[in-house]
Amino acid sequence: MTLRRKLLLVALCTLALPVAGWLYVRQMEALLREGQAQALIASARAVARSLVVTHAPLPQGDAAWYVQQAVNPITVDGYGDDWAPLTPWSQPFGTRGKLLLAEDAGGLYLYAEVRDARRTRADAQDGANALAADHLNLVLGNAVGQQHYLLESDAPGTIAARALGSPVAGLPAEFPAQWQEDGSGFRIELRLPRGLQLQALGIGAYVAEAGGDRMAVEMQPLLDYSAALSAELASLAPDRVQARVLSPQGWLLARSGRLDTAPGTHGQPGWFAALVYRSLLATRLEDANLWAQDVPRVDTPEVLRARTGAPVSVWRSGEERGSVVLSAAVPIEQGGKPVGVLLLEQASRAVPLLANRALFGLLLTSFGVLLLAGAILLWFATRLSLRLGRLRNAAERAQLSDGRLDGLFERGRFPMTDAPDEIGDLARSFERLFEAVGGYTDYLRTLASKLSHELNTPLAIVKSSLDNLEHAELPPDAQPYLARARDGVARLGALVRAMSEASRMERAIAAAEPEDVDLREVVRGCAEAYRPLAGARRLDCVLPDAPLHLHCAPEPIAQALDKLFDNALSFTPPDGWLRLSLRAVDGGAEIELANQGPPLPAAMQGRLFDSLVSLRDKATPGDAPHLGLGLYVVRLVAERHGGVASARNLDDGSGVAFSLRLHGMPRQRF
């Protein structure tokens, strides 16, 4: 992995900053909502206590019949069409009945349905027989007492509900009603005039098929929406809060205020901000209960829990975009017993807007810091990579494959040695290292000439001593040792002369002057000179059709070809072949000399052009030593021309090929 990628990964670690900020904003938003919930619950408790202290008209008892407000005119005809808007809040009685109560300026309306698949009929005038038939028992109660009424009919239509027993002051002796029936049961609808001052109502259905008490009723007080309690509630409820007083069963008794969902001073958030708030911050919002805003009965979860005596707060999504609603339900207790539930609801846009603004501000700041840090780290990594690349390139240019330096320090100091940081220390260390390597390489390059000069005198002394021994009388058994000594001296002399020749060759190659020549003529001349030396071996010369001009030193090139031909001739069989070829390449030319013979060992292919390396047999007595300097000279010629020398085995395995790739030498400027 590159340095820039590593630093990029380090920069990505700063993503923990916006994540931590998001968690912090989310926690702050939760604490803010919790504080508002506790404040609203405290307000609800205070209002609930005030309602009890001020003796507000609160319901008494655990059960009651609720009288709804009629939303449209009701026609007493025994059919439930007019009651359709109120049907979801019907109240059950007995095991078969369903009751609806409503009032308007015309009076109190009652609609009852009884499931009865098999009718048992009798005339209401039959007295005792009427009680044996299917009928409806109705009891009206006021401050004076209670009056029982029997409603029964043997056919659909208008009936008269007559009182049973002694009359009660303030209650009618009879009143009309409508009786309708079908295969599922019967329905009764009636209207009671206003001014009866009813306090309780009892109702019960008798189905002869099911049996039971013929006079049984469920007697409960009447509850309805109280204007007086609403006025009392309006004087106690906090501003900008919707307050509702509910009976223990959830029936609406009083109401004040409305949910304020209009945009306030903070404005209205966009859809994206609302989505961010709902998805990232307020993940514990309940769904909006729009259906429970204008209904006579509320049975939401918080109301159900408040009935048991525990205060509850719930956050919900608002009707408008980006708004939330806080609901707080507390029990209204009187004498240690819950007599109702107070529900306070408050709509707010401030919490989502402030949380969104805090989150967006934090995220923008964090991402800005992240981008800046990433840019700085990327710039730093790029600069560091470039500086390290300069060091690498300088090190690669400074040292050649044989350990010699290419004159880098003659042109100037090692790059970035003046830098005050660690890169500068590294550059200065490299500079000292290359100075030491350069000095040692120069010493090794001149070692051969120094040794050859120093060995000439001792060799001359040894040779003269051997010459003197030849004229002395030596025992016969000493002659072989004298011959061996002369052979060793001859070999040492050849070594010294070869080392001197290699040193002169290096200096000659370095001092060679380039000129514009046709390289094709140079190669052709060399090939013609080699034919007499090849003997019975076949020598082919492959040249390009057009002249191949190159700015080079022809004499060193011819010497390099001589070394290659001498090396190839020693490995080619007497009846073998050699092939000398020339071809143009990009920016120069390539000379290749291939010969038939044994392949190159794999371990030696990379060392053939080094100094003092040879594949010839060194153990043959009497032969001239081979120092392996010929191919080394070939490499020096190639490097002097900006090229390279290489060797390879032929693809068919018949021999080897040595190639000399040359480029034009730089022209001198005057």
3-state secondary structure of 267: strand
- Cα dihedral: 237, 262, 226, 87 (round 10): -140
Q: Is the per-residue pLDDT at 631 higher than 70?
A: yes
517/490 Cα distance (integer angstroms): 41
CATH topology for 399-510 is Helix Hairpins (1.10.287)
pLDDT at 315 over 90: no
Q: Is the pTM of this model over 0.85?
A: no
CA dist 105 to 69, 70, 251, 294, Å? 10, 9, 21, 21
Q: Which residue has the higher pLDDT, 132 or 366?
A: 132
At the topology level, CATH places domain 512-663 in Heat Shock Protein 90 (3.30.565)
Query: According to the model, what pLDDT value does residue 180 have?
Result: 94
Task: Convert the pLDDT of each residue in 131-154 to its tens digit.
Answer: 888 999 999 999 899 999 999 888
The answer to whether residue 350 scores a pLDDT higher than 60 is no
The per-residue DSSP string of 368-412 comes to HHHHHHHHHHHHHHHHHHHHHHHHHHHHHHHB-TTS-B-SHHHH-
pLDDT of residue 594: 94
Helix (H) or strand (E) holding 326: strand 324-334
Q: How far apart are CA 27 and CA 343, in angstroms?
A: 27
User: Which pLDDT belongs to residue 620?
Assistant: 45
At 37, the pLDDT band (50, 70, 90 cuts) reads confident
Identity (one letter) of the amino acid at 308? T
Asked which of 75-79, 105-109, 439-443 is least confident by mean pLDDT, the reply is 439-443
Percent of the chain with pLDDT over 90: 30
> Is a pLDDT exceeding 80 seen at residue 30?
no
Architecture of domain 3-56+227-357 in CATH? 2-Layer Sandwich (3.30)
Pairing of strands 65-69, 218-224: parallel
Is a pLDDT exceeding 90 seen at residue 204? yes
Can you tell me the mean pLDDT for 162-179?
91
Longest Cα pair distance anywhere in the chain, in angstroms?
182
Instruction: Return d(Cα 657, Cα 579) in angstroms, integer.
Output: 9
Regarding predicted confidence, which is higher, 23 or 74? Answer: 74
d(CA 350, CA 158): 60
What's the pLDDT at 622? 45
With a cut of 60, say whether residue 380 has pLDDT above it. Answer: yes
**147 strand-pairing partners:** 140
pLDDT band at 245 (very low <50, low <70, confident <90, very high): very high
Which tokens go with 615? 């594949």
What is the band of 360 on the pLDDT scale with cuts at 50, 70, 90?
Answer: low
3-state helix, strand, coil in the chain (%, to 5): 40, 25, 35
CATH class, range 65-220: mainly beta
Nearest to 587 by CA among 632, 644, 631: 644
CA distance 33 to 320: 19
Q: Residue 10 has what pLDDT?
A: 72
Tell me the two tokens of residue 607.
Answer: 């060392």
Q: Read off the pLDDT of residues 118-132 as tens digits, 9 standing for 90 and up.
A: 888 876 455 567 788
Q: What is the pLDDT of residue 402?
A: 53
If one compares 484 and 523, the residue with the highest pLDDT of the two is 523
pLDDT tens track for 261-295? 555 445 555 555 555 555 555 556 556 565 567 88
Q: Which residues pair with 68 in a beta bridge?
A: 102
Mean pLDDT of 592-617: 70
Q: How confident is the model at residue 636 (pLDDT cuts 50, 70, 90)?
A: confident
Residue ranges per domain, the chain?
Answer: 3-56+227-357, 65-220, 399-510, 512-663
